[in-house]
Amino acid sequence: MMGLAILISMTVTAQQVEEDSLQSVNLNEVILVSSNRLNHQKTEKPLAGLDAFLESSRNVSMVKRGAYAWEPAMNGMASERLSVTIDGMQIFGACTDKMDPITSYVDVSNLDEIQIASGQEGAAYGNSIGGAINLKTNAANYVKKGWSGTLGSSYESNNNLKVANGKVNYGSERFFINLQGLYRKAYEYAAGNNEKVQFSQYEKYNAFLNSGYKLSDSKQIGLSFIYDEAVDVGYPALPMDVSLARAFIGSVNYSQDSLFNRLDTWESKIYYNNITHVMDDTTRPDVLIHMDMPGESETFGAYSQAYLKSGANRFFFKLDGYHNRSYAEMTMYPPNPGEEPMFMLTWPDVHTYNVGLYAEDKISFGMDFLKLGMRLGYHKNSVASNFGYNSLKIFYPEMERENSRILKSFSAIYHKMLGDFHIEGGLSYGERAPSVSEGYGFYLFNSFDGFDYIGNPNLSTEASNEVNVSVSYKRPLFEVALAGNFFHISDYIIGKTNSELSPMTLGGAGVKVYENLDYARLMNVSLNGNYSFSSSLSWSGNISYHYGKDNDGNNLPLIAPISYRSALNYFKNQYSASINIQGAGKHSEFSSYYGETGAAAYLLLNAAVGKRFFIDDDDLYVKAGVENIFDTYYVSYADWNNIPRMGRNIHVTVSYSFN
């Protein structure tokens, strides 16, 4: 449904998208972000980090290793099984320990919306099993004339977080430019009962530029650039921190209204991004052996896409390709200065080439439709470093330097309306290649289960068979939707203990090597509802259930327990107020083999109020609220090594926009 999500976002206003959030596939979602000031009213914390916005989504949950750079998960699957893109651009983190998900290299101020597509609905964005998250940056704006801008600031009491954000836009009929700068600084946060969580500070700088020029009424070129830098980022759940995480993300795009008089909305883009990640253990006490662990990831890519309308058919075609280089090293310095430092390549300069063709056809029958999607791709890995290749050959003497595979994806969705009921069912198949860590990682320490992980270049392609069903009932004041999906994933990739190998990490529990399981099965069911009591007062609620087991009936790690949330929202005469609860049942279906120990049930209460003032032509917005009002001490299933979550937190945001 990503194609549909794109269509929706291009053809209807943001307001409508939100009202339509229960429309068609209920496992897909568009989250509006606060950069449009009209959305401030609907957002509890307009300058919250992107992670908080993602966490507010019905479908995404966030795995946390601290207060910064949370890792998105969806349908019980995280990083390797998701495709996370920025404006359709492929980007890969540079950390062997997942400290830098792609979502950590943009800021919410850069974005208009977050497009979430479940399972193979996300295939337009790349090969994935669990789904796709596309971060859509501020759109072109040729309409707004002259200069305008926004200054925003926010403060949070718990971790003394300060945020400052400034934007300037210039627009004319032919040309526009958006420029932004952002700064965030947070100190260590306190969990419930005022317990300080050590090493949970962070600091972030972000600059964003987006501009476009109309070559003619139907043709335009654009340029976009993001610079993002985080320094002194603490990871309380991990044995080390990060001194620098930096991204340069740039692209040039060209679009025209039609092509060959047949295709419409033809858009092409070339892009480049470079990520540097430097881990740092010098701030930690009791480090047995000091390590330097820098990593780098660099990606070139391009895509071109267009639509074609023919009778009841609406086709979408996309050709895409990228080349990524992932490199990470580790130097261990023994405490005895007489001993030589030990050097390893933890990612042996792995080059990945991927080209794919995505095609979809949406066939309408009155109010009903059938959507067929397909992706065919070629994927190749090669190990460029001789040193890294020879190191891996110790374990895999027959290993080839290059490894290529064909990746396929098919999906079919049927949507039917029966009176006020929308019924939808889909079947799909998708494949993914192993990640760089899964294929070529060399002694990657996982602080969750305490094992060193070694990649396996002989892994088979992982393949998912997916069924999804949703039923929604929609009346003008009332909506309720039940949605579920089931994944049978064959050749599921996960680490398994190899007792013949001994760990490199001092005190490590052992070594796990990535293997293909026969299969794993995951299931997700959610029930969503909302009701409008009046034009100013509305209620929404959501409850979800998740299941994940391997072929021996063992629990998979990081599968959520029953989770729920409910909110009352009030909005009248530029005043807004909301009160909401969120909670989860006991995490009892955990995986001790992967280091989980379970988590108790919890329930949180949050509230916020806001007011918008008009000052001549300008606009002043003030929002304030309290999170975790009862200062509850809690740990969720997604908290790495059971690091407790934030206690009571008071937040205030002020934003001033001039025209």
Binding site for Cu ion (CB under 5 A): 95, 97, 99, 279
Q: Is 335 helix (H, G, I), strand (E, B) or coil?
A: coil
Cα 433-434-438 angle, rounded to 5 deg: 175
Q: Is residue 25 within 8 Å of residue 413, measured between CB atoms?
A: yes
* Shortest CB 347 distance to Cu ion, Å: 11
Q: What is the DSSP letter of 96?
A: T
Closest chain position to Cu ion (CB): 95
Q: Nearer to Cu ion by C-beta: 99 or 513?
A: 99
Q: Is residue 613 within 8 Å of residue 576, measured between CB atoms?
A: no
Please report which helix (H) or strand (E) contains residue 5, including its range. helix 2-11
Q: Nearer to Cu ion by C-beta: 87 or 97?
A: 97
List, in sequence order, every beta strand (DSSP E) within 384-518.
402-418, 421-432, 444-446, 451-454, 462-475, 478-490, 493-497, 510-516
* Shortest CB 245 distance to Cu ion, Å: 8
- CA–CA gap between residue 134 and residue 69 (Å, rounded): 17
Q: Nearer to Cu ion by C-beta: 97 or 329?
A: 97
Q: Nearer to Cu ion by C-beta: 77 or 99?
A: 99
* Shortest CB 280 distance to Cu ion, Å: 9
Q: Nearer to Cu ion by C-beta: 31 or 444?
A: 444
Q: Is residue 185 within 8 Å of residue 161, measured between CB atoms?
A: yes
* Shortest CB 18 distance to Cu ion, Å: 36
Burial label for 343, CB within 10 Å (0-12, 13-18, 19+), is exposed
Q: What is the layout of strands, in order, in the sheet containing 493-497?
A: 444-446, 451-454, 510-516, 493-497
* Shortest CB 145 distance to Cu ion, Å: 45
* Shortest CB 246 distance to Cu ion, Å: 13
Q: Nearer to Cu ion by C-beta: 59 or 437?
A: 437
- CA–CA gap between residue 265 and residue 257 (Å, rounded): 5
Q: Nearer to Cu ion by C-beta: 62 or 559?
A: 62
**How many other CB atoms are found less than 10 A from the CB of residue 418?**
11
Q: Nearer to Cu ion by C-beta: 100 or 639?
A: 100
Q: Nearer to Cu ion by C-beta: 97 or 424?
A: 97
**Residues 417, 418, 422, 424, CA torsion sign:** negative
**Which residues, other chains included, contact 336 with Cβ-Cβ below 8 Å and sequence gap of 6+?**
none
Q: Which residues of 137-150 are buried (b: 16+ CB within 10 A; e: fewer)?
A: bbbbeeeeeeebbb
Q: Nearer to Cu ion by C-beta: 65 or 375?
A: 65
Q: Nearer to Cu ion by C-beta: 230 or 517?
A: 230
Amino acid at 12: V
* Shortest CB 639 distance to Cu ion, Å: 18
Q: Nearer to Cu ion by C-beta: 97 or 596?
A: 97
**How many other CB atoms are found less than 10 A from the CB of residue 536?**
14
Tell me how far CA of residue 300 lies from CA of 251, 303, 351, 357, in angstroms.
10, 11, 11, 17
**How many other CB atoms are found less than 10 A from the CB of residue 468?**
26
- CA–CA gap between residue 563 and residue 543 (Å, rounded): 6
* Shortest CB 508 distance to Cu ion, Å: 17
* Shortest CB 316 distance to Cu ion, Å: 37
Q: Is residue 512 within 8 Å of residue 503, measured between CB atoms?
A: no
* Shortest CB 260 distance to Cu ion, Å: 47
Q: Is residue 491 within 8 Å of residue 460, measured between CB atoms?
A: yes
* Shortest CB 470 distance to Cu ion, Å: 38
List, in sequence order, every beta strand (DSSP E) within 217-284.
219-233, 241-259, 263-280
- Quote the tokens at residue 611: 């007011």
* Shortest CB 452 distance to Cu ion, Å: 15
Q: Which residues of 212-243 are buried (b: 16+ CB within 10 A; e: fewer)?
A: bebeeeeebebebebbbbbbebbbbbbbbbbb
* Shortest CB 326 distance to Cu ion, Å: 13
Residue whose C-alpha is closest to residue 523's, from 568, 559, 572? 559
Q: Nearer to Cu ion by C-beta: 515 or 639?
A: 639
